[in-house]
Chain A
């Protein structure tokens, strides 16, 4: 989460602690959906009062937190899945692994790699017709990205997941989804949400309803029977986390818009909610730059200026963005300095400058989020061992793996840093992901992939074990 949510959170905490201790406590403990559910009981849309407004703000924060969290998971998950499928492909020659590797290559923009993987996979006789169908869907779109003049994709319902994927990749409108297409696979739930998210208007209830089956099936692998010898390997939808992230950001935006509609009647609250800034920030996360510009307006607060710098960075005006950030950081509070550093990190600006602000902020305030930003910049600079050491300063080791004590975003980021740095600590990464998948079932894909990577590493032939007399 970035500053606008932190600020609003503190306002909410200050103004509503006594009334809504439970959902706030849940939010603090990173149990976002449970908090949303609790706050739902406080909201009557038809008869909105101040308590309802605070509850709405709480929900918006929880959704924003989930959006940010799943974005973090997605980053790490893609890296893990890519490594896992890559490690499987050469020695095992599993065509399904290559089809999934191709999907990751497609989403990371490596079209040549995706084309090669798909062509290799589709030559195999071990693929079933439905698996082939999925490969062909992606190959069609890969070829088009590479400039091939292809006829429109002939819609096929041979494989439910492939059919939904072809609709999503083809950019079909939500209202144009064929009525006879069933929603029966994890991929279909996910694609349906993704298609809905490209609608002009988002209805909170509808999106909430569509996200539910995605979450319910989040731990479920996609089942393709490989006619070869390896029929039991699990494969997971690589865009699951990205869709969840975008879905929750969209919910956060829609909730904030609802707050904005009602703010005229609650001016005191409105002045403290910072809804415009929240909408700017979320719009930036959703890559809706025009909307971000509109909501930001001419906000001259430090927070507003940082968002303006972020916007400029996204528009490719790095120098202007850095100039603003440098100015805002001068003599600012630690939290603003940290956000300045975070902006440098998020937008790939001058990391040396970012490091300066991050270290300055952390020296002034020695708490986990400050060390996390510092560690993140070191990691981005390639100083992975230093990064791990810095992260450790903010990582409450005595509570490792407990989301009620450590921000799960931090857990994932720290595990990511360990993953890059030291293979001897892979077990710790596996363990962290085990805990995350118990709290967030969508993380099963990360846990599974990491187990696979760890298994591939375990090639020692002298099995070592020690019997100890009790714990």
Chain B
């Protein structure tokens, strides 16, 4: 009976396997000509900070636009394989210490000038230039490159200091034209090029309207035939409620991130597809460790215990998310499921504060440490679409009030806020969210060497030798199972240490009109496969 039953199940499984990976012939009925044309308007609640792909760091709108405008030597397709884009082929030599790329000869920049190996070398020089406004991680990823040699108009060679596994995966960065910057390798967000981008991507920059909308036109001379959709318009719509209304009233075709409370309403129309993507984000309250009281572990733990995250998630985000226990999303391969999230327990929170010598000694309802009342600032950026975030901060303030802790909310313009928080580390508590790609690398968030601006993301100035050692080990191994184990351990320690109060992972969903066909979105870059999208002729407006 035992084996027999197994056979039943296996039979079905083998049947499935027979058909596995058989290439689908989807939508073949649409002839190529009929697929061309049509316009797509999508809305973003935040303005891009730059149009160039090198200097953008924390702006998703910019990241998405640069995916439309620029290209890299290679890209990862939806099967996870490295495929050539600007590079036609490549060879790896010398025990993985050298890689030579043979570039396409039919690539033109949007201004008609030819793309050559000099542009690749120039892009490398821009990233390597410490005067450029580049994320340190991007620069570090190329640190291992010892020498770059242009061997011809369309051949370029990179030599590494040591053997590199799958070296082609290091060349996912976007390439920019040397002629547009007159060969100057220092690039900042405020440069002329950053406002008037020239790329090789499927779409070329047309203009920015007075409403701050961005118009992109399909690049007709793209080497891989031009994209199907003729024009893409990024409409700036800071009001989230209006953004969803615009979709429902057919004013736009796509919203890249639907507010959780609106998913059901949009889905129920039957007119739009909801596409989940990039669930690797998490929200948190970060505590500045330069503050001597916030440096006390029991204080941070008490704060984590004193807030009812489940209730906040239900009330503010309609329960569309998952409470987390550490610095990864549950969808990440680094998330340790054995670590349980802190459970709301005000009494325990109070006892932890008492353990740290923090009590209300004068009966005014506010606890003191060495006679000084506990009072912190929580800096909040002012921008539209942050209603959820504001509610979370208000709730946080009330929860901590019940603990006898005063939290002053300070509102700042976004750029000012960013400068104070990330640039100067001038804050006590901050509410934020990290969005990750699939690398699940948290070293820049918690390594002590990443706490000096602008070198890293450890703006809370957290330092723990054990965590540093684990992060170093993580970065020095390519064995993915060992890396996962390290992340599990990091998760366990950081959950206990509570440098952040880890809150939740919210569901990320795009909504797109069903008339747009063959939509595949990249979980992080979004528009990677946009050239395949199309609107059938009879469904165009």
Check B76 for interface membership: any CB of A closer than 8 A: yes
Residue contact B431 to A470, C-beta cutoff 8 Å: yes
Check B402 for interface membership: any CB of A closer than 8 A: no
Inter-chain CA distance A91–B80, complex, in Å, is 18
The listed residue (A197, A385, A426, A468) touching B1 by CB distance below 8 A is A197
Residue contact A384 to B24, C-beta cutoff 8 Å: yes
Residue contact A246 to B5, C-beta cutoff 8 Å: yes
B288 to chain A, nearest CB (A): 15
Check A71 for interface membership: any CB of B closer than 8 A: yes
- Looking at B30-38, B244-252, B481-489, the stretch in contact with chain A turns out to be B481-489
The listed residue (A107, A455, A470) touching B433 by CB distance below 8 A is A470
Residue contact B78 to A422, C-beta cutoff 8 Å: yes
B40-75 vs A, Cβ < 8 Å mask (1 yes, 0 no): 000000000000000001111001000000000000
The dominant DSSP class at the B interface is: mixed
Check A444 for interface membership: any CB of B closer than 8 A: yes
Residue contact A461 to B169, C-beta cutoff 8 Å: yes
Check B293 for interface membership: any CB of A closer than 8 A: no
Given contacts A287-B5, A470-B433, whether A462 and B138 have CB atoms under 8 Å apart is yes
Inter-chain CA distance A278–B25, complex, in Å, is 40
Inter-chain CA distance A468–B278, complex, in Å, is 14
Given contacts A382-B22, A386-B26, whether A423 and B79 have CB atoms under 8 Å apart is yes
B519-533 vs A, Cβ < 8 Å mask (1 yes, 0 no): 011111000000000
The residue of chain B having its C-beta at the shortest distance from the C-beta of A392 within the complex is B273
Inter-chain CA distance A398–B484, complex, in Å, is 30
| Number of A positions contacting B (CB below 8 A) | 80
The residue of chain A having its C-beta at the shortest distance from the C-beta of B261 within the complex is A398
The listed residue (A239, A346, A451, A461) touching B12 by CB distance below 8 A is A346
The residue of chain A having its C-beta at the shortest distance from the C-beta of B165 within the complex is A459
Residue contact A380 to B138, C-beta cutoff 8 Å: no
Inter-chain CA distance A109–B15, complex, in Å, is 13
Residue contact B8 to A287, C-beta cutoff 8 Å: yes
Check B335 for interface membership: any CB of A closer than 8 A: yes
The residue of chain A having its C-beta at the shortest distance from the C-beta of B60 within the complex is A466
Check B389 for interface membership: any CB of A closer than 8 A: yes
Inter-chain CA distance A313–B523, complex, in Å, is 43
Interface residues of A in 183-205 (CB under 8 A from B): 194-195, 197-198
- Looking at B210-218, B297-305, B325-333, B342-350, the stretch in contact with chain A turns out to be B325-333
B416 to chain A, nearest CB (A): 12
Check B352 for interface membership: any CB of A closer than 8 A: no
Given contacts A230-B479, A232-B485, A457-B80, whether A437 and B337 have CB atoms under 8 Å apart is yes
Inter-chain CA distance A246–B380, complex, in Å, is 56
Most buried by A among B16, B57, B440, B503: B16
Residue contact A423 to B80, C-beta cutoff 8 Å: yes
Chain B residues with Cβ below 8 Å from A381 are 19, 22
Check B29 for interface membership: any CB of A closer than 8 A: no
Chain B residues with Cβ below 8 Å from A175 are none
Check B10 for interface membership: any CB of A closer than 8 A: yes
Inter-chain CA distance A152–B317, complex, in Å, is 63
Given contacts A382-B19, A434-B337, A464-B524, whether A471 and B433 have CB atoms under 8 Å apart is yes
B401 to chain A, nearest CB (A): 20
Residue contact A108 to B10, C-beta cutoff 8 Å: yes
Chain A residues with Cβ below 8 Å from B137 are 462-465
Most buried by B among A245, A384, A447, A467: A467
The listed residue (B141, B434, B524) touching A461 by CB distance below 8 A is B141
Inter-chain CA distance A437–B336, complex, in Å, is 13
Inter-chain CA distance A379–B12, complex, in Å, is 12
Interface residues of B in 1-19 (CB under 8 A from A): 1-2, 4-17, 19
B270 to chain A, nearest CB (A): 9
Inter-chain CA distance A232–B481, complex, in Å, is 9
Residue contact B9 to A462, C-beta cutoff 8 Å: no
Check A343 for interface membership: any CB of B closer than 8 A: no
Inter-chain CA distance A245–B444, complex, in Å, is 45
Check A242 for interface membership: any CB of B closer than 8 A: yes
Check A233 for interface membership: any CB of B closer than 8 A: yes
Residue contact B485 to A431, C-beta cutoff 8 Å: no
The listed residue (A380, A454, A464) touching B19 by CB distance below 8 A is A380
Check A215 for interface membership: any CB of B closer than 8 A: no
Inter-chain CA distance A10–B455, complex, in Å, is 63
Interface residues of A in 67-92 (CB under 8 A from B): 71, 74-75, 78-79, 88, 91-92
Check A324 for interface membership: any CB of B closer than 8 A: no
Check B493 for interface membership: any CB of A closer than 8 A: no
Given contacts A423-B80, A461-B170, A469-B414, whether A286 and B141 have CB atoms under 8 Å apart is no
Residue contact B9 to A245, C-beta cutoff 8 Å: yes
Inter-chain CA distance A434–B206, complex, in Å, is 44
- Could you list 15 further interchain pairs (A-B, Cβ under 8 angstroms) beyond the known A168-B2, A455-B333, A459-B169? A107-B10, A245-B9, A380-B19, A397-B267, A422-B79, A424-B80, A430-B330, A452-B481, A460-B76, A461-B169, A463-B436, A463-B437, A466-B59, A470-B392, A470-B431
- Closest 9 interchain pairs by CB? A470-B389, A382-B22, A431-B331, A455-B333, A423-B80, A463-B441, A464-B437, A287-B4, A382-B19
Sample of 22 A–B contacts (CB below 8 Å): A74-B9, A91-B479, A92-B479, A108-B14, A195-B2, A379-B16, A383-B24, A386-B24, A420-B20, A422-B79, A424-B277, A425-B276, A427-B279, A427-B523, A435-B322, A455-B483, A459-B165, A461-B141, A465-B436, A466-B59, A469-B414, A469-B417
List chain A positions with a Cβ less than 8 A from chain B: 71, 74-75, 78-79, 88, 91-92, 94, 107-109, 168, 194-195, 197-198, 229-230, 232-233, 239, 242, 245-246, 249, 285-288, 346, 348, 379-386, 392, 396-398, 400, 420, 422-428, 430-431, 434-435, 437, 444, 447, 451-452, 454-471
